[in-house]
Amino acid sequence: MTDLPRRALTRGAKLAALPLGYAGRTAVGLGKRVGGAPAEAVTAEIASRTAAQLFQTLGELKGGAMKFGQAMSIFEAALPEELIGPYRATLTKLQDAAPALPAGTVHEVLAEALGPHWRDRFGSFDDQPAAAASIGQVHRAVWSDGREVAVKIQYPGAGDALLGDLTQLSRMARMFTSIVPGLDVRPLLAELRERMSEELDYLRESDYQRRFAVAYDGDDEFVVPHVLAAAPMVLVSEWLEGYPLSQVISEGDQADRDRYGTAYTRFLLSGPERAGLLHADPHPGNYRVLPDGRLGIVDFGAVARLPGGFSPAIGRLLTIAMRRDAPAVLEGLREEGFVRPGADLDAELLLGYLAPFVAPAEQDEFRFSRDWMRAQFGRVNDIRRPDFSLGLKMTLPPHYLLIHRVWIGAIAVLSQLEATVPVRGELRRWVPDFDPG
């Protein structure tokens, strides 16, 4: 069976070329500065060209390289405008597109997963993929009962590619910091590695999707497609017609931005109570605007199991932070395991450091924007600020890992949308013990 489109040696060479290209551009940039070119202009040129090469390579390679690129792409709202302009389109493409597998390889995967007579299960099957992402691609087909379906097929060799790519990318932290000063990609890569086995198992994903589909069946606002068949590398579910949330980001009017920003927030917050699960992959490619106006949700490979809903501790911590009770915030974070043992923190500085997490809940309606997100990102990464070192004294408890990922990712997507969202009301509705007064 054909492996991922690049053999391991070729994949490694392409990834290895990224820091080499960065080193070459840096050397050329140094020459330009010596020759009298403004340092800011040279730095921006290096970052822009590095980013363009980076995201093109990540998209071409699929596997862990593209998974990492997709995870980074939702944070483009935090990047400085002078850098993001040249490659915003490339970042967006990573959210829901990638080069396709050959039809022969697709047929081999289907035969292994559904049996040699797999075609009998379909009325028709389109060999051209309708969408492609990091570890799989989606084909449009008609099921034997006449229903239109999406057939998600995992790339052969995806597991080895994921592991190899993430190992290689972890050695490139300095290059990523050159693109976005203050960005530490190591925790993101560690998390992707941690979730790797779950995302590769389509049977597990099908179970999560089934639970979401039952919980939201017949909903007036959301659609989760039902699963019709599943195997470790193939997942067949109902087809969702529509366009991705990224199109609202690029073309939507303000009414649509606010409407779907609110729906996006509501789905993420309602999942733990309604399904006992939190959809933990918040990038816009997983959300589709349907012809009837509802929001469709796909891709349930990354899910946090929260059978009792959100922990009441989250609501309590948000509430006391909004009330500016700094000592109580510090004590609560210690109790929940967010503060490293023995670390000495200034409670007032800590309260200020947490502002990006708390601000959206402090008003009846909060306006997310790229400018706001950039300001928050720049503030927490400003080494001149007295609260800069706080991040070194804190840690993320394992049971909060995916919740944190979703909260940060959702803020980033809402900032791309430039949406006004009633976050406080949604938190009051779905998060126990949140009491803003």
pLDDT band (50, 70, 90) for residue 113: very high
pLDDT value at 129 more than 70: yes
Place of tokens 């969202």: 421
Query: For the range 391-394, what are the long-range contacts, defined as Cβ-Cβ under 8 Å and sequence gap of 24 or more?
Result: 391/353, 393/339, 393/340, 393/343, 393/344, 393/345, 394/333, 394/338, 394/339, 394/340, 394/343, 394/345
Using alpha carbons, list the distances in angstroms from residue 381 to 122, 199, 208, 395: 53, 31, 36, 16
Q: Which of 288, 337, 304 is nearest to 138 (CA)?
A: 288
Residue-wise pLDDT for 237-284, tens only, equals 999 999 999 999 999 999 999 999 999 999 999 999 999 999 998 888
Whether the full predicted model's pTM is greater than 0.85, yes or no, is no
Residue 427 pLDDT grade (very low, low, confident, very high; cuts 50, 70, 90): very high
Instruction: Report, as an integer, the average pLDDT of 315-342.
Output: 93
Greater model confidence, 386 or 107: 107
Q: Would you state the pLDDT for residue 376?
A: 80
22 or 381: which leads in pLDDT: 381
How much is the average pLDDT of 345-372?
Answer: 90
| Distance (Å, whole) CA 190 – CA 166 | 8
Does residue 170 contact residue 191 with C-beta atoms inside 8 Å?
Answer: no
List the single range of 196-210, 231-245, 417-431 with lowest mean pLDDT.
Answer: 196-210
- Give the pLDDT mean for 151-174: 71
* CA distance linking residue 329 with residue 335, whole number of Å: 10
Q: What is the predicted pLDDT for the residue at 347? A: 92
Tokens in use for 7? 């053999």
Give the per-residue pLDDT at 136: 82
367-387: per-residue pLDDT in tens?
999 889 888 877 766 667 776
* Sign of the alpha-carbon torsion through 11, 12, 15, 16: negative
Which residues are CB-neighbours of 246 under 8 A, at least 6 positions away? 92, 95, 96, 284, 285
Res. 188 pLDDT band, cuts 50 70 90: low
Which residue, chain included where needed, has tokens 């009633």? 422
Domain boundaries, the chain: 8-98+159-196, 312-430
Q: Tokens for 183? A: 């960005």
